[in-house]
A and B are shown apart, each in its own frame.
Chain A
């Protein structure tokens, strides 16, 4: 490889990126996504808008309502009299849940009879619906057993849960989301930048310089990718700082592992962009294709929203095909778990990342054509 030639190309690419002000985007986009999403995505459903209809108006029913009022999961909007009014509010998407306490709530409770509490949940967003439902259940059961304990004045048969949440003791959303976001950002941003590098030259005609020069295909690819690689390598550190200092995500693993894995991952996302750039003929196809193969899978298969283990069918395969899953495993490990290379799985995933990078690069230089068509 003729280093001086590659260097010349690298310098050229760099100054083009700086002059076209793309450099701003290179650093703005990842940070923006991390901050915005880190702040914004909440997995925990809190403050579900709740309407309570209390037909009983008794001491115990108020006790139950109080439990709702004190729960952070619910924001009790109003206590209503009319069911139709409440349902109307749900229909207009102004409330999420309606709880109906039946007339004989206290009486039945005191007599140990079966009580039915009516709950209406807006399940348009199914997960939110189910979550709210189980929260309601929790509050009601909790209240009921407290009431019963008080009534019987003895301990009931209970099981307390001594929960040790590993890796994310406080169950902070930030801890759970931010590392995943790094995986997402480092997939999208470099890929989109790299996706246009070659197809742009094809469309403009400057690709002739490559066709007619002594530059080999590997050198050309290296020359195209190195500048973007370096620019985005800095993002690895910037994103790390945002995560640990701004979002206070703990960092329990080895920084070296984080760094090496991230660089490998960067090679992969750049290669994805490059491959797209090689196979497409126009820039617009390249852009749309990159957006589709990075943003959506990046989101869905990153494990931010759901663990891969819960996926079924085709998306389970797709998740395994995309590199995000492997990198995110390592990310969560270095941030929250800290096992590092001691875990065989991490070693294996690191190996997969390296293989993936090499494979894509090889494929790229294989299908890149150095001739007019």
Chain B
């Protein structure tokens, strides 16, 4: 069984999705799609899954297709998980019903072997306890995992996953890889996976690097890494040539004479490629803040916050405090109660028990919050933008809600568009854009009014490496220059390293709260934060 993609181009109406893509995959291979947001990964994925017509031809198992109709006979053997959180789920069905539904539409016999496999998938996703919960009430990460196991359920011969691990915690990602390994070994499944996690990409048999609607490179992880060898240096290395400097690394076009070389990761591909295209990261310039600052050091102080949904305790006695000019990472498995906690802080869920002080004010009634709203910024997991307005209009609208004058708003939008890299998309409608791009202007909209506290719920999920680097640069700048306090959740463990302090949550309770240095001191053997994280959750 083989998959061949020959000179495939996809057009969305008149817009080019992907041009002249060529690659081959053999039985049991896992192929990774990586590349900047909007580089054409999803277009190719849709064409291969047979949900959009294309030019050129795709051959799978000796069957050639280029239109949806021609792909029809193959659909029973193809599994597609589209990009986007909970896109294939029905809010009102429970987890278990989803599995049964997907089993039935793929005509699976529900025998013992199936039940065992199902249990295995559920355990992998950590959903076995939530079998009877309706999908609409799951957290974003859990939805993502449910979509994933629904796709895996019928053991397709060709598995096409579009960013399946976006928003999924590290533990589940490891489990997922075990399952993929097993499936491909026992069934010879071909897996095509796009991902924003470069550690995952490293595990693939072959990687396709996408840029500007083309596949610009393909090969094994090692082969690709070789191309950027000796182009990565420690961030403080001096350099006058064109280069990109992130918090962790300095990327250059040609080798420097410096000695502080770093071993490259796949992320380096993005940066070096950007440099080759003559792009650099725009420097972040923050104007001085006009608003007077809040006097006092502790911006947010939560004591014993508790939230129950029926009998389920989502947050149990959580104490967290957030100081001025501090970035606090809130980490934990999917469904640990991170989003619930943030929503309580924001007043989107009423607080069942506990005390909350925001900017020195005790919050008891909704009126208490009204005055504070101007000082708070929030990016939600399901970024909420109006789908029928362009990016620019969305941002202008939110700015106007915040009472900004249109000149200020336009100026700031322009600046963030540049810094977060979405200037080219200002006139597009959000549903037409990749997840990563949408995520970027959600963030911009939360920053427009120059808040004092920022609550960011997985702001970087699915965002490409360059944008993430730029984003963290911006956060650091905000913290240092404006003394903003930031509470952030993320599933990129490497990002935890940029935080000042990290709180770990498990099943609604806080299990650890320390500075990054503190964590490393407690776990001297750990090489990176992922290992520390796994220590706590294994």
Contacts and interface: CB of A to CB of B under 8 A. Distances in A.
A and B touch in the complex (CB under 8 A): yes
Interface of A: 2, 4-5, 7-9, 11-12, 15-16, 19-20, 204-206, 208-209, 211-216, 370-373
Nearest to A8: B104
Nearest to A12: B101
Contacts of A16: 90, 92-93
B104 A206 contact: no
Contacts of A19: 92, 134
A9 B105 CA distance: 7
A12 B93 contact: yes
A208 B90 contact: no
A193 B112 CA distance: 38
B257 interface: no
B106 interface: yes
B55 to A, nearest CB: 14
Given A8-B105, A12-B101, A372-B46, A205 B51 contact: no
A289 B93 CA distance: 29
A5 B52 CA distance: 23
Contacts of A370: 68, 72
A208 B82 contact: yes
B97 A12 contact: yes
A214 B80 contact: no
A77 B481 CA distance: 84
A331 B513 CA distance: 73
A139 B64 CA distance: 85
Given A15-B93, A16-B90, A212 B101 contact: no
Contacts, number: 78
Contacts of B101: 8-9, 11-12
Contact of B107 (A4, A11, A204): A4
A372 B432 CA distance: 12
Contact of B106 (A205, A206, A213): A213
B409 interface: no
Given A4-B107, A214-B76, A370-B68, A208 B92 contact: no
A55 B80 CA distance: 89
Interface residues of B, number: 33
A24 to B, nearest CB: 15
Nearest to B150: A209
A214 B82 contact: no
Interface string B60-77: 000000011000100110
B84 interface: yes
A12 B90 contact: yes
Contacts of A7: 104
26 contacts: A2-B107, A5-B105, A8-B100, A12-B90, A12-B97, A12-B101, A19-B92, A205-B84, A206-B88, A206-B89, A206-B90, A208-B80, A208-B87, A211-B68, A211-B80, A212-B78, A212-B82, A213-B75, A213-B106, A214-B106, A216-B72, A371-B51, A371-B52, A371-B67, A371-B68, A373-B13
A5 B92 contact: no
Nearest to A203: B387
A118 to B, nearest CB: 62
B105 A213 contact: yes
Given A12-B90, A372-B46, 19 more contacts: A2-B107, A5-B105, A7-B104, A8-B101, A8-B104, A9-B101, A9-B105, A12-B93, A15-B93, A19-B92, A20-B92, A208-B82, A212-B78, A212-B80, A214-B72, A214-B75, A370-B72, A371-B52, A371-B53
Contacts of A9: 101, 105
A215 B13 CA distance: 25
B49 interface: yes
A54 to B, nearest CB: 68
A21 to B, nearest CB: 10
Contact of A372 (B52, B76, B107): B52
Contacts of A215: 105
A34 B87 CA distance: 40
Contact of B51 (A20, A216, A372): A372
Interface in B13-53: 13, 46, 49-53
A4 B89 contact: no
A11 B90 CA distance: 13
B10 to A, nearest CB: 10
A282 B72 CA distance: 27
Interface string B497-519: 00000000000000000000000
